[in-house]
């Protein structure tokens, strides 16, 4: 089957192919009475938009979003919100030569095997253009979260490009908006620009690690045991194109720790329990602790490269594939706003679930002296 919906109560269904007439998202389950207009969503789409600098694909898409339903006089009505983005710069002839070959690292071959047909237009449904719809839907989630959880912030950034990691000692959130890599390290931004120019010149591409942090989320979110908050974040991030690994808090590195090192000790703060460290990434037993929620994901290098790679044709003949067309040398860059959008959707979904089961949009049990 094709499962194009995510979320339990805040449900997002995306649709559309990279080179069809349009793509979009149907957002169902949105609370009513929340201020929303297209400009609020466009803000986030512009962040993801291609062609903004030399480090991303030169495809020119305005990615202008239209709200076709579910909003009346600037407010959500509680009915499904249809978000549509017209495809403009389709140039599908760029892809004409790949109709009968399979690009290594791409989904061409598996889509063909699964469905028995090719939609050669830029990857069809498997194209990362689908993530524009997620960003639009994430904008809706952010608008609702702003209303329900004042002070919640969701911030994504790159922490690694190829083998080059940021220096956490230089970490500065203010830098993120100042460079094309969304990297919180001014020096890394400079270095990476040179690295990526060379990669592109070589007809090659490179992977990345993106980190997304939610600060200010309440304790108590997460639905044990098969919709734990970390389970949902892992699924959300792994569903983004080209993602091959997901980590919460200490992540894969948790394997190398001892129990003494790993257990985040607890003390009382002014307004409740406070942790002395955050190996847990803000989640224990699948439920948020009230700390920063920290998720990281690895994005593989773009498979569309100008270097020939061995492959086969539909008829089974050997061939070399060179992917022409316009591509991102590091698709991880544009995954940053997508990761943020997924975080927003997951948090809102769990906030609604907690509200359903307990009547509270936050913790029920209170820790501290009796009042």
CB of 367 to a copy of itself, least distance (A): 6
Q: Which is nearer to a copy of itself, 174 or 315 (CB)?
A: 315
- Give the interface segment with a copy of itself, choosing from 47-55, 135-143, 172-180, 290-298 (CB under 8 A): 290-298
Is 326 annotated for ligand binding? yes
Is 59 annotated for ligand binding? no
Radius of gyration of the chain (CA): 21
Query: Is residue 307 close enough to count as binding a copy of itself by CB under 8 A?
Result: yes
Measured CA to CA, the distance from residue 220 to residue 289 in angstroms comes to 7
Query: Is residue 11 close enough to count as binding a copy of itself by CB under 8 A?
Result: yes
CA dihedral for 224, 231, 288, 142, sign (positive or negative): negative
Of 189-228, binders to a copy of itself (CB under 8 A) are: 199, 204-209, 219-228
Of 135-154, binders to a copy of itself (CB under 8 A) are: none
Contact yes or no for 118/111 (Cβ under 8 A): yes
Q: Which is nearer to a copy of itself, 189 or 294 (CB)?
A: 294
Q: Which of 50, 288, 293, 339 binds a copy of itself (CB under 8 A)?
A: 288
Is 300 annotated for ligand binding? yes
Contact yes or no for 123/107 (Cβ under 8 A): yes
Q: Which is nearer to a copy of itself, 88 or 364 (CB)?
A: 364
Q: Which of 56, 57, 155, 302 binds a copy of itself (CB under 8 A)?
A: 302
Query: Is residue 91 close enough to count as binding a copy of itself by CB under 8 A?
Result: no
CB of 306 to a copy of itself, least distance (A): 9
DSSP string across 39-66: HHHHHHHHHH-SSSSTTS--------EE
Q: Which of 28, 185, 211, 340 binds a copy of itself (CB under 8 A)?
A: 28
Is 54 annotated for ligand binding? yes
Query: Is residue 157 close enough to count as binding a copy of itself by CB under 8 A?
Result: no
| Ramachandran category for residue 160: left, alpha or beta (phi over 0 → left; psi -120 to 50 → alpha) | beta
- Size, binding site for a copy of itself by CB under 8 A: 165
Contact yes or no for 35/75 (Cβ under 8 A): yes
Of 34-63, binders to a copy of itself (CB under 8 A) are: none
Query: Is residue 348 close enough to count as binding a copy of itself by CB under 8 A?
Result: no
Q: Which is nearer to a copy of itself, 33 or 174 (CB)?
A: 33
Of 239-278, binders to a copy of itself (CB under 8 A) are: 239, 241, 243-268, 273, 276
Is 242 annotated for ligand binding? yes
Of residues 326, 348, 344, the one with CA closest to residue 43: 344
Contact yes or no for 332/208 (Cβ under 8 A): yes
Query: Is residue 371 close enough to count as binding a copy of itself by CB under 8 A?
Result: no
Q: Which is nearer to a copy of itself, 170 or 314 (CB)?
A: 314
Of residues 220, 188, 209, the one with CA closest to residue 293: 220
Query: Is residue 287 close enough to count as binding a copy of itself by CB under 8 A?
Result: yes
Q: Which of 305, 333, 338, 344 binds a copy of itself (CB under 8 A)?
A: 305
Site string for a copy of itself, 163-192 (x = CB under 8 A): x-----------------------------
Is 69 annotated for ligand binding? no
Distance of CA 42 to CAs 36, 178, 245, Å? 11, 20, 29
Classify burial at 76, counting beta carbons within 10 Å of its beta carbon; exposed 0-12, middle 13-18, buried 19 or more. buried
Measured CA to CA, the distance from residue 335 to residue 181 in angstroms comes to 10
Name the token pair of 183.
């990297």
Contact yes or no for 262/250 (Cβ under 8 A): yes
Name the token pair of 359.
């009547």
Is 239 annotated for ligand binding? no
Measured CA to CA, the distance from residue 192 to residue 160 in angstroms comes to 10
Measured CA to CA, the distance from residue 215 to residue 201 in angstroms comes to 39
Of 350-369, binders to a copy of itself (CB under 8 A) are: 352-359, 361, 363-365, 367-369
168, 172, 175, 177: CA torsion to nearest 10: 100
Q: Which residues are annotated as a binding site for NADP(+)?
A: 48, 54
Q: Which residues are annotated as a binding site for FMN?
A: 125-127, 241-242, 285, 300-304, 326
């Amino acid at each position: 089957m094709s499962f194009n919906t995510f979320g339990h109560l805040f449900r997002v269904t995306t649709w559309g192919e990279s080179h069809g007439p349009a793509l979009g998202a149907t957002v169902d389950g949105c609370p009513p009475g929340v201020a929303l207009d297209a400009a609020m969503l466009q803000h986030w789409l512009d962040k993801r938009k291609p062609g903004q600098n030399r480090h991303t694909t030169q495809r020119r898409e305005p990615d202008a979003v239209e709200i076709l339903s579910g909003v009346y006089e600037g407010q959500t009505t509680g009915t499904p919100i249809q978000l549509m983005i017209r495809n403009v710069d389709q140039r599908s002839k760029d892809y004409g030569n790949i109709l009968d070959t399979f690009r290594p690292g791409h989904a061409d071959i598996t889509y063909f095997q699964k469905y028995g047909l090719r939609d050669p237009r830029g990857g069809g449904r498997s194209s990362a253009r689908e993530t524009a719809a997620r960003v639009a839907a994430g904008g809706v989630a952010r608008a609702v979260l702003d209303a329900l959880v004042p002070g919640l912030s969701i911030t994504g950034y790159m922490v690694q490009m190829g083998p080059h990691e940021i220096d956490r000692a230089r970490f500065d959130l203010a830098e993120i908006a100042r460079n094309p890599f969304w990297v919180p390290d001014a020096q890394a931004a400079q270095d990476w620009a040179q690295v990526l120019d060379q990669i592109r010149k070589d007809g090659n591409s490179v992977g990345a690690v993106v980190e997304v942090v939610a600060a200010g989320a309440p304790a108590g979110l997460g639905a044990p045991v098969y919709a734990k908050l970390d389970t949902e974040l892992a699924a959300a991030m792994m569903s983004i194109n080209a993602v091959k690994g997901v980590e919460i808090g200490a992540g894969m590195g948790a394997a190398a720790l001892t129990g003494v090192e790993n257990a985040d000790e607890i003390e009382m703060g002014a307004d409740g329990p406070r942790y002395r460290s955050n190996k847990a990434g803000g989640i224990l037993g699948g439920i948020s602790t009230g700390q920063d929620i920290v998720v990281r994901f690895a994005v593989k290098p773009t498979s569309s490269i100008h270097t020939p790679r061995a492959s086969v044709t539909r008829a089974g003949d050997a061939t070399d594939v060179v992917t022409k067309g316009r591509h991102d040398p590091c698709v991880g860059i544009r995954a940053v706003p997508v990761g943020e959008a997924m975080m927003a959707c997951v948090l809102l979904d769990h906030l609604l679930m907690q509200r359903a089961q307990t009547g509270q949009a936050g913790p029920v049990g209170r820790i501290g002296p009796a009042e």
